[in-house]
Amino acid sequence: MAVIKETRKDRIFNAINFIIVTGCLLVVLYPLYFVVIASFSNPNAVAAGEVWLYPRDITLDAYETVFENQEILMGYRNTIFYTIVGTLFNLVLTLPAAYGLSKKNFMGRNVIMFFIVLTMYFSGGMIPSYLVVRDLGLLNTWWALIIPMGCSTYNLIIARTFFANGVPSEIEEAATIDGCSTFRLFLQIVLPLSKALIGVLTLYYAVAHWNEYFSALIYLPSAREKYPLAQILREILILNTMKSAAGSSMNEELAVYYANLANLLKYALIIVSAVPLLVVYPFLQKYFDKGVMIGSVKG
Amino acid sequence: MKSAARLSKNPAAAGKGKKILTRLCRDYQLYLLVLPAVIWYIIFAYVPMYGLQIAFKDYNGALGILGSPWVGLKHFESFFRSHYAWTLIRNTVILALYSMLASFPFPIILALMLNELKSARYKKMVQTVVYAPHFISVVVLVGMLNLFFSPNGMIGAIQEALGQETVNYLTSPGAFRHLYVWSGVWQGTGWGAIIYLAALSSVDPGLHEAALIDGASRLQRMWHINVPAILPTATILFIMNAGSLLSVGFEKVFLMKNDLNADTAYVIALYIYDRGIVKTDFSFSAAVGLMNNFVNFFLVLLVNRIARALSDTSLF
């Protein structure tokens, strides 16, 4: 491309393009950045609208309040449990099924695939699903947030496409001729060759579990001790149930401070709830493009 | 061979049956691999579909799904006769269409622009940032909206600084749809661009070189080479978006709705939740859900037809 010199028009185009992209970048970045700086700032400064570009009077008060709250810690522990166990369950269900359905010698695979894909467009809906979960006796149990989220059709299709195209069939044929059973072939040869796929699916499933709140609302009507973090977040961020520690003996200035702190703690809470993702985000990033690419070969 | 022929009048059919049996035996492990997922789909996707029959019954817990008496279209009639039915339908359709149409073009534009960036490192950096909101949970997103748009939040401070009156957008029926849609655009545009970037990366560089030699400017090359290259992808995605038109975003609306903005924020799915889960009016809300589902299904077919007529690309 460098052979032909850029025209003036092209340079203007480049400049405008650069400016617009940078504008988009700032629009996305600023709200996230604001949450971070606000969470470290003095509550009164945030309330007065003085925090814009950098934190003011840096304090960890908001974080201290977050970590003193037993319910938040409980929700955190529960969510870690749901995410780990739930994602494992998802993988155990999705990977073998996708592998089996990717095999051409699997009789009836098109029929099964049709009925699976159909569920993307037509479903029983909220009420009949609720009745199934209730009749299985899953309400208010740990399993209520794991088993009903067992399989995502979208992810199953991604996995099937990957197995159909991403694993060289020569290796499988050679192993079969050498007397390798399908189970062993899958566990010892196909899975180790599918790290990219497992990475993508783990990411998609884990994020879904981490963010899930609605199932908790329906399926855990009276099991508060099993609430995931997202449900606790909902109560604090949206229903405003968090009471500040303000006591009657406090002077007015301190009472205002605590009232503002109750608001500020939401920023800190957002950060705390996002920390695990922020930690793994850079490592997972290489999978993002791959994941969508695998899925898009579907055709 | 002789005995086999005697068993069946058609030896070929017998051979076929035997072949199927051999194949089943040989591949039984494959079937075992698929079995758990099939069972899961039956229990959690097809049993609920079977349970949808309560939409035509008066569901009674003691009698069970099968034992409850049939009532025909009673629940559908009572929904359509109610004064809120059309408000609910209107709110749902407006929100869904507005959201779909507004959020559709941005990932395409972003992908086209990212593709034109000269610095690969800067492109990578922008991608890292714009993908991030996709992973933010809907609870946190609505929480952020609440923090920013409440009268004493960020937006309120800007308005005060400009000497305007502060408005509480969170409780305003007029602002609800815009807040819902544009926060969705903020969250989804980056992630949505990935698939178009993938489509763009498969454009034959020879096309660009040829155009370059013919003196095409960057803008012309973008318009005449890159845009047609991603059009099929765009069409398919548009149809797929239409498929989830009426169900999408329910969890977000649920969090954003309050008593004051209910005029525009009350959508069918929320109503199903209120009547079904909260008031345990199972049959009625299943009927409303079924109707919602059918309208949805019909919309996919409709959009698919339109897409096929306009661009020769369709999902099925």
Angle at A283 between CA A281 and CA A287, to 5 degrees: 90
Q: Do both A278 and A144 map to the same domain?
A: no
Q: Where a domain ends, among A195, A226, A257?
A: A226
Confidence (pLDDT) at B15: 66
Residues 85-104 of B with CB under 8 A from A: none
Chain B residue numbers with beta carbons less than 8 Å from the beta carbon of A17 are: 113, 116-117
B76-311 under CATH 1.10.3720.10, yes or no: yes
Confidence (pLDDT) at B316: 64
- The shortest C-alpha distance from B152 to chain A (Å) reads 7
Does the pLDDT at position B234 exceed 70? yes
Q: Which residues pair with B70 in a beta bridge?
A: B57
Which pair of structure tokens corresponds to residue B132?
């991030």
Confidence (pLDDT) at A199: 86
Does the residue A1 lie in any domain?
no
Q: Do both A58 and A79 map to the same domain?
A: no
Q: Where a domain ends, among A226, A252, A273?
A: A226
Radius of gyration of chain A (CA): 25
Does the residue A3 lie in any domain?
no
Confidence (pLDDT) at A47: 78
B233, A214: Cβ pair inside 8 Å?
no
Low-confidence spans in chain A with pLDDT less than 70 = 1-5, 241-250, 289-299
A34, B138: Cβ pair inside 8 Å?
no
Which contacts of A183-191 are long-range, i.e. CB under 8 A and separated by 24 or more positions?
A: A183/B29, A183/B32, A183/B33, A186/A96, A186/A99, A186/B33, A190/A99, A190/A163, A191/A95
Confidence (pLDDT) at B2: 43
Confidence (pLDDT) at A28: 94
Which residue of chain B is at minimal alpha-carbon distance from A23?
Answer: B126
Nearest to B195 among A100, A263, A296 (CB): A296
What total number of domains does chain A contain?
Answer: 2
- Chain B within 8 Å of A182 (Cβ-Cβ)? yes
Nearest to A238 among B27, B113, B255 (CB): B255
pLDDT in tens, A91-126: 999 999 999 999 888 888 899 999 998 888 788 888
Does the residue A2 lie in any domain?
no
Does the residue A102 lie in any domain?
yes
pLDDT: which is higher, B237 or A81 = A81
- The count of other CB atoms within 10 Å of the CB of residue B43 is 16
Cβ contacts from A onto B, under 8 A: 249
Does the residue A106 lie in any domain?
yes
Q: Do both A137 and A62 map to the same domain?
A: no
Confidence (pLDDT) at B145: 92
Does the residue A234 lie in any domain?
no
Does the residue A99 lie in any domain?
yes
Confidence (pLDDT) at B243: 66
Q: Do both A84 and A220 map to the same domain?
A: yes
Q: Do both A166 and A32 map to the same domain?
A: no
Q: Do both A274 and A128 map to the same domain?
A: no
CATH number at residue A76: 1.10.3720.10
Does the residue A88 lie in any domain?
yes
Which pair of structure tokens corresponds to residue B52?
């949808």
Residues 46-105 of A with CB under 8 A from B: 47, 49, 92-94, 96-97, 99-101, 103, 105
Percent of chain B with pLDDT over 90: 34
Q: Do both A109 and A203 map to the same domain?
A: yes
Residues 120-139 of B with CB under 8 A from A: 126, 128-133, 135-139
pLDDT in tens, A269-289: 999 998 888 788 877 777 776
Confidence (pLDDT) at B305: 83
Q: Do both A85 and A210 map to the same domain?
A: yes
pLDDT in tens, B37-83: 999 999 999 999 999 999 999 998 888 888 888 998 999 999 999 98
Confidence (pLDDT) at B315: 65
Q: Do both A63 and A80 map to the same domain?
A: no
Q: Do both A179 and A36 map to the same domain?
A: no
- Give the pLDDT band (50/70/90) at residue B22: confident
CA distance B76 to B94: 22
Confidence (pLDDT) at B247: 63
- Chain A within 8 Å of B22 (Cβ-Cβ)? no
Which residue of chain A is at minimal alpha-carbon distance from B51?
Answer: A128
pLDDT in tens, B117-168: 988 899 999 998 998 898 888 999 999 998 888 877 788 878 878 887 777 8
Q: Do both A34 and A49 map to the same domain?
A: yes
pLDDT in tens, B270-311: 999 999 999 989 999 999 999 888 888 887 788 778 877 877
- Chain B within 8 Å of A19 (Cβ-Cβ)? no
| Domain parsing of chain B, residue ranges | 2-67, 76-311
DSSP A75: H
- Give the pLDDT band (50/70/90) at residue B106: very high
- The shortest C-alpha distance from A162 to chain B (Å) reads 16
Residues 43-62 of B with CB under 8 A from A: 43-52, 54
Burial B193-230 (b: 16+ CB within 10 A, else e): bbbbbbbbeebeeeebeebeeeebbbeebbeebbeebb
Chain B residue numbers with beta carbons less than 8 Å from the beta carbon of A34 are: 148, 154
Domain residue limits at A86: 70-226
Does the pLDDT at position B98 exceed 70? yes
Confidence (pLDDT) at A256: 76
ipTM associated with this complex: 0.88
Residues 140-159 of B with CB under 8 A from A: 140, 142-144, 146-148, 152, 154, 156-157
Q: Do both A31 and A154 map to the same domain?
A: no
